[in-house]
A and B are shown apart, each in its own frame.
Chain A
Amino acid sequence: MAASCRLKPLSSVAVSGGTHGNEMSGIYLAKHWLRDPMELRRGSFAVTPFLGNPRAIEKCERYVGQDLNRTFTTELLSSTEAEDEPYEVGRAREINQTYGPKGSAQAFDFMFDLHNTTANMGACLIVDSEESLLPMHMCHYIQTHYKWSPCRIYLYKLPGEETYSIDSVAKAGLALELGPQPQRVVRADLFAQMRALMACALDFIELFNKGTVFPAFEIEAYKITGRMDYPRYPNGEISAMVHPKLQDKDFLPLHPGDPVFQTFSGEEIVYKGDTTIYPAFINEAAYYEKKVAFAKMEKHTFSIPGLQRE
């Protein structure tokens, strides 16, 4: 049994709604909390809500110049201001100044990032990797205390890849990804679920800050291994759709030979990989331009050491 790790209690915590300006649950939650922050207070800390991409929110678009949630790389954050730079590069620098600097001792202790997806992912907790101890414990706590629906854990960082998301500005972070919800639409049920998930996460932080000992545990999580694009014509347009048998089957096993795409003439295209994978973000609207029909993941069980505050 691994020894318990000790981490400092969390005092500076932020939550971003509207990192993407058309993902409405987080936008309306953040706007609600900006008017009435009571829900975000606990005995030992309070959470600062903010609107990630205000100009995109105003236009109800994912982004204005470029995807804000891909802009938090060291290179972009340290670049000098240029006149013709995309809006999001300047915004990322502002966010880094307020809640970072990324990688420094002054950075916020924790950042939540609220998202929706058009994919059938239910309630999904996104962490960079299984090595992020505090977020993994938070996910475990949420999974055992949030009873409305199953929560899956998605580990998004590919080996060797740098972190680029908004929550990477803080020392630790967690993204909540809820779907399916169309862009620009707010559904009451997902709004309520996101709110309840946040409440659960804050309960965890409060318990942690108060000195609760969280024992070691084993946890199942999905780790990204790659991404699969749509088949395309030479001119770049998609030549097939996600197959009806794969549509909505996020986190269910996809075996070699299973149908993945269907052409407009009705032909079936099967998965040609060597091993069973677990797909997520199946048919996410925002990913057509990123050339991703779905993300490929492996299911793992990780042993996470115990945790308590210093």
Chain B
Amino acid sequence: HCIFSIKALLRRQTSCMLNEQSLKQLNRMTSCYVVHEAPVRRVAIFGGTHGNELSGIFLVKHWQENGAEIQRTGLEVRPFITNPRAVKKCTRYIDCDLNRVFDPDNLGRHMIEDIPYEVRRAQEINHIFGPKDSDDAYDLIFDLHNTTSNMGGTLILENSRNNFTIQMFHYIKNALAPECCPVFLIEHPNLKYATARSIAKHPVGVEVGPQPQGVLRADILDKMRKIIKHGLDFVHIFNEGKEFPPCTIEIYKIMEKVDYPRNKNGEITAVIHPSLQINIYC
């Protein structure tokens, strides 16, 4: 899942008191003309990119046995477990974080003996669903994650110019209203990371919490399931030719990652303050 906490969204302040207003930088993005895009035919749903984030793992496993719920006419939807060894051990990763190694360097690395498991796996995944940045790549990948943070059902956007994804998020947000569905934009010169889903033309991150690692909560799974249902409905309606009018969505853009205070041994010397711990996202 994404490595930032809610604290990552704060701009550094000179004073120690942070008020509600300064916590979010709002961006409004509006489409002003009609864009025509190719139909979206090849869709994948990734679960288990982190082996201890259980909602996506169990949803994908269920859909692999009984995929009726994720089928739509005119679409191929493929549920897929990305990190099976980590899933088996119920751990985030074996050697390194799979969701950080889909950059050109790692994807192009030579397959030598002691290559980390996740780098080898990333190359396999790129071969099946990519290659990244080519015409053969999958059109759309939903990547399912959980977080221990109180983020509700957050949708993660990689590119502020991806109209298709922004319209999808608008559709999902409306479908889930009045339930909150925040959008998190990870576009940033140094903080953006090379996700598994980034091999698709339209990468979509789905991050639902709070849920402890290694725990499967029915309410959290249900929320994730609903997000996927509406996402797939959108693709289907889009493919059928519907014109989606210009829309505006509010997003939270990453500014910075804030670490814990640490001592010279690297151990944390302070914990998240109780008043920030319960801060509701929206």
Residues of chain A at the chain B interface (Cβ within 8 Å): 28, 31, 118, 180-189, 191-192, 237-238, 241-244, 247, 262, 264-265, 283-286, 288-289
Those of B36-90 within 8 Å (CB) of chain A: 58-59, 61-62, 66, 90
A249 → chain B, closest Cβ, in Å?
Answer: 13
Please tell me if B221 contacts chain A, counting CB pairs below 8 Å: yes
Decide if A188 touches B274 in the complex (CB within 8 Å).
yes
Most buried by A among B62, B210, B214: B214
Please tell me if B177 contacts chain A, counting CB pairs below 8 Å: no
Contacts A187-B271, A188-B277, A237-B61 given; indicate if A244 touches B212 (C-beta within 8 A).
no
Q: List, in ascending order, chain A residues with CB within 8 A of B210's CB.
A: 182
Q: Could you list 20 A-B pairs, sorted by A, with CB under 8 Å?
A: A180-B212, A182-B210, A183-B213, A183-B214, A185-B148, A185-B212, A186-B271, A187-B272, A188-B277, A189-B274, A192-B274, A241-B58, A241-B217, A241-B218, A242-B218, A244-B219, A264-B58, A265-B62, A286-B214, A289-B90
How many A-B contacts if CB must be within 8 Å? 69
Instruction: Give the docked Cα–Cα distance between A144 and B273 (Å).
Output: 28
Partner of B272, one of A188, A243, A284: A188
Decide if B214 touches A288 in the complex (CB within 8 Å).
yes
Decide if B272 touches A247 in the complex (CB within 8 Å).
no
Instruction: Give the docked Cα–Cα distance between A149 and B20 (Å).
Output: 29
Instruction: Give the docked Cα–Cα distance between A184 and B272 (Å).
Output: 14
Decide if A188 touches B273 in the complex (CB within 8 Å).
yes
Contacts A188-B271, A189-B277, A264-B62 given; indicate if A247 touches B213 (C-beta within 8 A).
no
A244 → chain B, closest Cβ, in Å?
Answer: 5
B115 → chain A, closest Cβ, in Å?
Answer: 23
A241 → chain B, closest Cβ, in Å?
Answer: 4
Please tell me if B128 contacts chain A, counting CB pairs below 8 Å: no
Instruction: Give the docked Cα–Cα distance between A118 and B215 (Å).
Output: 8
Q: List, in ascending order, chain B residues with CB within 8 A of A182's CB.
A: 148, 210-213, 215
Contacts A187-B271, A188-B277 given; indicate if A262 touches B218 (C-beta within 8 A).
yes
Q: List, in ascending order, chain B residues with CB within 8 A of A242's CB.
A: 216-218
Question: Which residue of chain B has the shortest Cβ distance to A283 in the bound complex?
Answer: B215
Instruction: Give the docked Cα–Cα distance between A186 and B213 (Å).
Output: 13
Contacts A189-B277, A237-B61 given; indicate if A184 touches B271 (C-beta within 8 A).
no
B90 → chain A, closest Cβ, in Å?
Answer: 8
Decide if A247 touches B217 in the complex (CB within 8 Å).
yes
Instruction: Give the docked Cα–Cα distance between A244 and B221 (Å).
Output: 10
